[in-house]
Amino acid sequence: MSIILSATNLSKVYSHRNHTTLALNNVTVSFEENTFTTIIGRSGSGKTTLLHLLSGLDKPTSGVVYLNHCQLSSLNERELLALRRKHVGFVFQENTLLNEFTVYENIMLPCIIDNRTLDTAYVDDLLHTLGLWDQKNYYPHQLSGGQMQRACIARSLSTRPTILFADEPTGQLDRKSGCEVFDLLLLSSRKYNTTIIQVSHDLKLAQMSDRILYLNDGCLSHKMEDFYAD
Residue 52 to residue 88: CA distance in whole angstroms:
11
String of contacts with Mg ion for each residue 209-228, x by CB under 5 A:
--------------------
Which does residue 21 bind out of ligand ATP, Mg ion, none, counting CB within 5 to 8 angstroms by kind? ligand ATP
- Minimum distance between the CB of residue 76 and Mg ion, rounded to whole angstroms? 28
- Which residue lies nearer to Mg ion by CB, 48 or 102? 48
By the 8 A CB rule, do 66 and 73 touch?
no
CB of 43 to Mg ion, least distance (A): 7
| Contact of 197 with 165, CB cutoff 8 Å | yes
Least distance (Å) between residue 48 CB and Mg ion:
3
Q: Based on CB atoms, which residue is closest to Mg ion, 48 or 188?
A: 48
d(CA 165, CA 146): 17
Shorter beta-carbon distance to ligand ATP: residue 42 or 191: 42
List contacts with ligand ATP (CB under 6 A): 14, 16, 21, 23, 41, 43-49
Regarding 55 and contact with Mg ion (CB under 5 A), the answer is: no
CA 224 – CA 95 distance, rounded (Å): 30
Nearer to Mg ion, 48 or 55 (CB): 48
Of 213, 199, 102, 86, residue with least CA distance to 148: 102
Q: For residue 72, what is the DSSP state?
A: G
Contact, 76 vs 28, CB < 8 A?
Answer: no
Binding site for Mg ion (CB under 5 A): 48
